[in-house]
Structure 1
Amino acid sequence: MSGTSSSATSASPSASVPATGTTKGVPRLRKRREHSAGRPKRSVLLTVLTGLILVYTVVPLIWLVISATKTQEGLADSSGLWFADDFALWSNIRDTFTYHDGIFVRWLLNTLLYVGLGAGGATFLAILGGYALAKFNFPGKRGVFAVVIGAVAVPGTALAVPTFLMFSKMGLTDTPWAVIIPSLVSPFGLYLMWVFATEAIPVELLEAARIDGAGEARTFFTVALPLLAPGIVTVLLFTTVATWNNYFLPLIMLKDPDWYPLTLGLDAWNNQAQTIGGDVIFNLVITGSLLTIVPLIAAFLLLQKYWQSGLAAGSVKE
């Protein structure tokens, strides 16, 4: 018994530790730092890149706001990123709306018309098409998917000249329809709604509505449409920005200044300085540009919650 006891004692872990009680020579295990959503991993490179992107984005906006407070003379006599001696923002805004018989207001209404019918119609068609492609099976669905992906990859400028020739044959150039009808097609919006509808609408919910006797139209408007709200807002923002900033298509389609959108009208004001006897109104061009982006900024801020949730939909698979 004593031999067994002594051997067990010598084999115990405490026998390998020196009598002094120190752990010298025994390697320590390094504790891993755990990262979570509340404590994300820090990256110096990512921080620097984010700062550069922030500067690249914010500095032009700051320049635009500061320059809109200057007169035509103040733009030439002062620094670009600091205010001039005279604060002329309110007078610039007044002159922008009243210059040339208030043509800026007409351009603003034209832009709202193009956005309301073009972007609104593109969003509605994307909702219908995306829902149908996500929840119905039919022959040629793979071919439709290939066409949609291919259309997303084609830049809009490549289709501008063929579109102009087609509308010229139909006699629709120099009319609002020449801008509205092409804006109704949004391949990216269709693809986005397709992906969102696939994840956001449970098939079991649609089947339950059909069992209860609801038709396809009622099922879509009462069951599916509320679930698509974040995706609808996301697509609406993308199509609105695309239509609001559209420049090349109105440039080749429109000749009458009364039908210009804001982008084309401000460019016409800017080009006046290059014509003989033309008015140099760079202060009004800058102020008009500031007024042009205010509605877009307001839309993004007001709809930010829906927009972010719409972008994140489908990113996590259950």
Structure 2
Amino acid sequence: MRASTGVRILTIAILVLAFIYFVFPIYWMIVTATKTPGQIVSSNGLWFAVPFSDLPEMIARNYEKLIGLTRGYFWRWVGNSILYSTVAATIGTIVSVMAGYATSKFEFHGKNFTIGVVMAALLMPAALMTIPQYAIFQSVGLDNTMWSMIIPACVSPFGFFLGRVYSDNSVPKELLEAARIDGASEARIFFTIVLRVLAPAMVTIFLFMFVATWNNFLLPLMMISSDSLKPVTLGLYGMISYALFNENGVLMMAAFFGIIPVMILFLSLQRFWQAGLAAGSVKE
């Protein structure tokens, strides 16, 4: 079956509009990152304020301002965000898949109650848990440490939900029974068979948890006080908190540099992510 000409034109038009909607903020961010405060209010907001030959000078000017305003910590903050997000998402993905697989394929006392408690946690705003988490970490002396950023982000009710759904629909019971008949232990079945079957789904869980940790602001605001441990979100918040701050071009440059790792991650894992979104959508 071929779609009619009108449907194809409408589809293309919608896709073009969606493309503009998502790409335009990035374009505007890049343009604004080359301007001084005066040029932002006096020039065309959709184009550069200087000729292309002068752009390297403007970029260098704003970059020097960025490093100065962040006291040389900017790339340290970006590195911290990469570290926190990668470690938390990696551990959280394994934990989510293990918990989802266990509650999907095994029967044990309190299973339904456990699932209900975890799923009920999905209804609780993450900000509601921040103060209790801070109180716990302060009491054990782990506040203002890397662990205070990594450990809370490793536990995700949404990750558990995805892990359970994918295990339900993507891991056939016949495969597990065949492995048990061959004498494989449950640990070997999970690490050598289940993880391979759920690899695309794990990429999806990893990306969700990575972005959630990267964008988290309230948790580091409560936990982190040392400049050297701040993620980029908290670091930039401190930069714009100066009473006389008006370097919005510098802020746009920092924001653009801050999203480059996330863009690279999504583009590099795109094909696995698409497969993960479709995993379990059709049950054989």
Bin the TM-score by the shorter chain: 0.7 to 0.9
1:79 aligns with 2:49: no
Letter of the 2:214 partner, please give it: W
Out of 84, 91, 94, the position equivalent to 1:124 is 94
1:223 counterpart residue number: 193
Instruction: Work out the CA distance in 1 between the residues paired with 2:18 and 2:118.
Output: 31
Q: Which moved more, 1:133-142 or 1:168-177?
A: 168-177
Residues 185-264 of structure 1: matches in 2 within 5 Å? 185-264=155-234
Choose between structure 1 and 2 for higher RCO, CA contacts under 8 A separated by at least 6 residues.
Answer: 2
2:256 counterpart residue number: 290
Letter of the 1:307 partner, please give it: W
Deviations 1:246-274 (A, max 9, x none): 111101111222211000111111122xx
Alpha-carbon distance, 1:284 to partner: 2.2
Deviations 1:124-146 (A, max 9, x none): 11121111112111111111221
Instruction: Work out the CA distance in 1 between the residues paired with 2:125 and 2:18.
Output: 25
1:58 counterpart residue number: 23
1:39 counterpart residue number: 3
Q: Structure 1 length normalisation: TM-score?
A: 0.79
Alpha-carbon distance, 1:100 to partner: 4.7
2:120 counterpart residue number: 150
Relative to structure 1, the CA distance from residue 117 to residue 212 in structure 2 (aligned partners, 3 Å threshold; closer, same or farther) is same
Instruction: Work out the CA distance in 2 between the residues paired with 1:253 and 1:169.
Output: 12
Q: For the Cα contact (< 8 Å) 2:201–2:277, is it kept in 1?
A: yes
Letter of the 1:297 partner, please give it: M
Aligned residue pair count:
278
Q: Which 4+ stretches in 1 moved above 6 angstroms?
A: 43-52
Larger Rg: 1
Q: For the Cα contact (< 8 Å) 1:269–1:281, is it kept in 2?
A: no
Out of 43, 60, 74, the position equivalent to 1:104 is 74
Out of 169, 180, 186, the position equivalent to 2:150 is 180
Unaligned runs of 5+ in 2: none
Relative to structure 1, the CA distance from residue 201 to residue 58 in structure 2 (aligned partners, 3 Å threshold; closer, same or farther) is same
Three-state SS of the structure 2 residue aligned to 1:208 is helix
Deviations 1:10-62 (A, max 9, x none): xxxxxxxxxxxxxxxxxxxxxxxxxx5x5389499998887766554333222
Relative to structure 1, the CA distance from residue 56 to residue 95 in structure 2 (aligned partners, 3 Å threshold; closer, same or farther) is same
Instruction: Work out the CA distance in 1 between the residues paired with 2:68 and 2:198.
Output: 42
Instruction: Work out the CA distance in 2 between the residues paired with 1:80 and 1:188.
Output: 39
Q: For the Cα contact (< 8 Å) 2:92–2:209, is it kept in 1?
A: yes
Query: Aligned Cα RMSD in Å?
Result: 2.5
1:167 counterpart residue number: 137
1:25 counterpart residue number: none
Letter of the 1:68 partner, please give it: A
Q: For the Cα contact (< 8 Å) 1:230–1:306, is it kept in 2?
A: yes
Alpha-carbon distance, 1:151 to partner: 1.1
2:276 counterpart residue number: 310
Deviations 1:182-226 (A, max 9, x none): 111111011101100111111111111111121111111111111
Instruction: Work out the CA distance in 2 between the residues paired with 1:199 and 1:221.
Output: 18
Aligned sequence identity (%): 41
Letter of the 1:221 partner, please give it: F
Instruction: Work out the CA distance in 1 between the residues paired with 2:110 and 2:40.
Output: 59
Alpha-carbon distance, 1:99 to partner: 5.5
Relative to structure 1, the CA distance from residue 93 to residue 210 in structure 2 (aligned partners, 3 Å threshold; closer, same or farther) is farther
Q: Which moved more, 1:258-267 or 1:86-95?
A: 86-95
1:92 aligns with 2:62: yes
